[in-house]
């Protein structure tokens, strides 16, 4: 828990340093993926993110996107694709959870090919091999011992699979970005909507009005991302003098 507290504190500090006056929401959304997300997702390959920290991380991102003195929007809204009304902001807790189950990709591939599992995958098979066989409809390895009660480390993997209804094909591809897109994209609901090519979006978010920014702001955003300007650069308005003398 102390590791997560330290990482979240670093995330908060980085978000504060990146909160520039001229930074648009599109730029901030990009920075959540490139500079903010690694503070949390790097450790998520080894340590599952505690559920108690999810809301704390989401609050940091919501306040960072909104900026000072502006109303905040939930990450469930901000992380929607732009075509669905969001800013495609990084859903850091969700990315952390999906990174945590990446160990399933080699395990699933080897199970499909009936190959011998290496030691680290044997540990996974011992703990949750029976549950994975039921979820993905594999033949059970009856000649391999299995734990009656898997450890909490491996229980978290099963919980994530069931929570987001991740399929075997998605696990085999091993692409976190593809699974994120599937989870975030609203599903088509009825046959009538299929015939009329209409898609009903989930009521978990509201539409966001994306403003059109002038070119000087786009240029500023580009230069910040490319590190052309110092992050502490200050700008003054070029107001012509009204004094005729």
The pLDDT tens digits for 58-111 are 999 999 998 887 888 899 889 988 877 788 899 999 999 998 888 899 999 999
Average pLDDT along the chain: 79
pLDDT at 138 exceeding the cut of 80: yes
Residue 31: which of 22, 42, 19 has the closest Cα?
19
Work out the number of other CB atoms within 10 angstroms of the CB of residue 102: 13
Average pLDDT for 206-232: 61
What per-residue confidence (pLDDT) applies to 107? 92
Residue 52's alpha-carbon distances to 93, 134, 166, 167, 204, in angstroms, are 11, 29, 23, 27, 21
pLDDT at 231 exceeding the cut of 60: no
Could you tell me what percent of the chain has a pLDDT over 70? 75
């Amino acid at each position: 828990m102390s590791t997560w507290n330290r990482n979240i504190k670093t995330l908060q500090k980085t978000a504060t340093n990146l909160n520039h006056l001229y930074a648009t929401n599109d730029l901030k959304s990009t920075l959540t993926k490139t500079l903010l997300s690694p503070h949390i997702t790097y450790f998520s390959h080894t340590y599952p993110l505690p559920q108690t920290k999810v809301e704390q991380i989401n609050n940091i991102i919501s306040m960072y996107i909104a900026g000072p003195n502006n109303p905040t929007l939930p990450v469930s809204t901000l992380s929607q694709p732009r075509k669905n009304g969001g800013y495609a902001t990084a859903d850091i807790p969700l990315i952390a959870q999906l990174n945590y189950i990446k160990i399933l990709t080699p395990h699933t591939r080897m199970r499909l090919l009936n190959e011998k599992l290496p030691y680290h995958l044997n540990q996974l098979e011992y703990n949750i091999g029976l549950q994975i066989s039921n979820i993905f409809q594999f033949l059970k390895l009856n000649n391999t011992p299995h734990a009656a009660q898997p450890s909490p480390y491996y229980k978290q993997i099963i919980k994530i699979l069931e929570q987001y209804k991740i399929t075997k094909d998605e696990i085999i591809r091993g692409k976190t970005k593809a699974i994120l897109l599937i989870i975030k994209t609203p599903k088509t609901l009825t046959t009538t909507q299929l015939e009329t090519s209409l898609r009903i979006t989930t009521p978990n978010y509201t539409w966001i009005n994306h403003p059109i920014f002038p070119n000087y702001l786009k240029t500023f955003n580009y230069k910040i991302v490319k590190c052309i300007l110092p992050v502490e650069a200050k700008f003054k308005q070029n107001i012509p003098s009204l004094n005729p003398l």
